[in-house]
Amino acid sequence: MKKRVPVDFVDQRLTERLSRTGLRFTAQRRHVYSTLLKKRDHPSAEEVFMRAKAEMPDLSMATVYNTLDMLVKCGLVRQVVHERGASRYCSNMQEHHHFHCEECGGTFDIDKEPETDDPEIHMPPGFSIHHFEILFRGVCPECAAKAAKSAPNGTLRLHP
Ligand SMILES: [Zn+2]
Ligand SMILES: [Zn+2]
């Protein structure tokens, strides 16, 4: 039996969202979206392009940019903006925060704890919050382990 469910799911979700915004559903757009779903490691636009192009050689960078822009507008993909470096794209639409590793540049999903949903932030009058997200910055477990290994004995104190 052929496993068709994921493709159908992508088609259905994309068609539905696109029709709401009046955009056309093309094979290229679908391919860019399924590329994002395939490996959820928060790739940059360039990385999405490289991966998608591998299977669809006539795909252009402009199409990838347009499609990513459109997917963000449709609410199917989130754009993760870093102060430095390129934007990343996240296809995990569950509410979550992001952690940015300053060593390897990786972006990781951090589940939102229900108790943090009420931020102790007081908005000036007139502002209403629809959504908030926190971007953590630091070192991921892999990089922390590497640093611990390469540090000469006793010079790296992880637990002060
Ligand atoms: Zn790292
Ligand atoms: Zn994410």
Reading the chain (160 residues) residue by residue, the pLDDT tens digits are: 444 445 566 777 777 777 777 777 788 998 999 999 999 899 999 999 999 999 999 999 999 999 999 899 888 899 998 777 789 999 988 888 899 999 998 999 998 776 555 556 778 899 888 877 788 999 999 999 998 888 765 455 555 4
For ligand 1, the distance from its centroid to the CA atom of residue 94, given in whole angstroms, is: 23
User: What three-state secondary structure class fits 74?
Assistant: helix
CATH number of the domain enclosing 68: 1.10.10.10
Domain count, the chain: 2
pLDDT at position 152 is 64
pLDDT at position 119 is 56
- Which has the closest alpha carbon to 133: 76, 90, 70? 90
> What ligand has the least distance to the C-alpha of 141?
1
Domain boundaries, position 72: 1-93
> What ligand has the least distance to the C-alpha of 104?
1
For the chain, helix (H) and strand (E) counts, in that order, are 5, 5
Find out whether 138 and 102 touch, Cβ atoms under 8 Å: yes
> What ligand has the least distance to the C-alpha of 80?
2
- This prediction has a pTM of 0.73
For ligand 2, the distance from its centroid to the CA atom of residue 4, given in whole angstroms, is: 26
Indicate the DSSP class of residue 101.
E
Q: Which of 59, 75, 93 is the last residue of a domain?
A: 93
Residues 81 and 138 in one domain: no
Find out whether 52 and 59 touch, Cβ atoms under 8 Å: yes
For ligand 1, the distance from its centroid to the CA atom of residue 144, given in whole angstroms, is: 7
